[in-house]
Amino acid sequence: MQKSRIIKDKTAHATMFILTVVSILFVVVMFIGLYLKSAPVLRGESLWHLLTSSEWKPMKGEFGFLPFIAGTLWVTLIAILLALPVSLLTAVYLTEYARPRFRKYIFPALDILAALPSVVYGIWGTLVIVPFISNKIAPHFVEYSSGYTVLAAGIVLGVMILPLLVSLFIEVFSMVPKDLRESSLALGATRWQTTCKVVIRRTLTGVIASTVLAVSRAMGETIAVLMVCGCVMTLPNGVLDGCYPIPALIANNYGEMLSMPLYESALMLAALILFVVVLAFNLLSRIVLYRMEKRLL
């Protein structure tokens, strides 16, 4: 009886240990898998050339990723610029000003934003944002725009990362001890002064880390962006041009790529680039956030 219990415990321990280690190793396996697949195209050209060339002619074996990288960066930049002020102010209001009862109404709204699938955002983008840009915004600046632009993708993406940013900011702000706020308020500072000079100053690294995390999320978003970005394979010159971010490139061409090994390899390189960038951003910001949590709590 005693022995069987101990054996059971030991077996469970071993199984769980293996499961945990395997899931850690999965990150490594994923990198290796994608790297092996993208090796053929890297053998043909140097990585630098692939990243900076804008010639994308799969049939001739030319793969320049610059338009796609530029598209990703543009769209992400717009999304962050739009979402950052809104989410920062919302998070400040919710942690520093709002009564608990008010939170009860806003949290479900954020939940819904976070839960809606990206195709739903894609539909919303094509039905609301794209016509709005085409009819209302673009005529002021250019002669004609279909509306399927960097700006449309940026707006849709901005709304999609709002809930993530707000929840990260709330987590970061609530790490600041209450005493600090109260001492600042007791000295006669207003709530807003306390927010700027105590809460945000104290958590600035956390705010930046959270933003980086949201950036990495925005970079990988596929379907919604694909539906509104216009899929134009040129370097975008402004927010009213079409673009073609990396995830859209992968998703759009997965069918054709099978017939050409080099094409497949190039698309896997695209996935690898995305993976490495997201991995680096995530590791960096998570380490910063962990450290901060330890320091403040």
Partner 1 sequence: MELKSKKIRESVAKVFMWMSMIVVFGMVISVVWTIFSHGWKAMSWNMVSSLPGGGFYIGKEGGFLNAIVGSLYIVGASTVLGLLISVPVVFYLNVYLKSESKLAYTARMAFDVLFGVPSIVYGAFAFTIMVFFGLRTSLLGGILVITLLIIPIFIRTMDEATRAFPRDILDATYSLGATKWETLKVVLRQIAPGIATATLLSIGRAIGDAAAVMFTAGYTDSIPTSLSQPAATLPLAVFFQLSSPIPEVQDRAYAAALVLTIIVLILSISGRFITNKFSKNKI
Tokens of residue 51, six digits: 């990243």
What is the distance between the alpha carbons of residues 38 and 91, in angstroms, rounded to a whole number? 41
| Beta carbon of residue 30, minimum distance to partner 1 (angstroms, whole number) | 5
Tokens of residue 158, six digits: 């901005």
Of 170, 166, 155, 153, the residue nearest 110 (C-alpha): 166
Residue placing its CB nearer to partner 1 in the complex, 221 or 241: 221
| Beta carbon of residue 8, minimum distance to partner 1 (angstroms, whole number) | 6
Of 164, 184, 157, the residue nearest 90 (C-alpha): 164
* Sequence letter at residue 206: G
What is the distance between the alpha carbons of residues 158 and 109, in angstroms, rounded to a whole number? 16
Residue placing its CB nearer to partner 1 in the complex, 122 or 236: 122
| CB-based burial label for 143 (10 Å; 0-12, 13-18, 19+) | exposed
Residue placing its CB nearer to partner 1 in the complex, 238 or 263: 263
| Beta carbon of residue 270, minimum distance to partner 1 (angstroms, whole number) | 8
Residue placing its CB nearer to partner 1 in the complex, 12 or 260: 12
| Beta carbon of residue 273, minimum distance to partner 1 (angstroms, whole number) | 10
Residue placing its CB nearer to partner 1 in the complex, 55 or 111: 111
Of 209, 239, 189, 293, the residue nearest 71 (C-alpha): 239
| Beta carbon of residue 143, minimum distance to partner 1 (angstroms, whole number) | 25
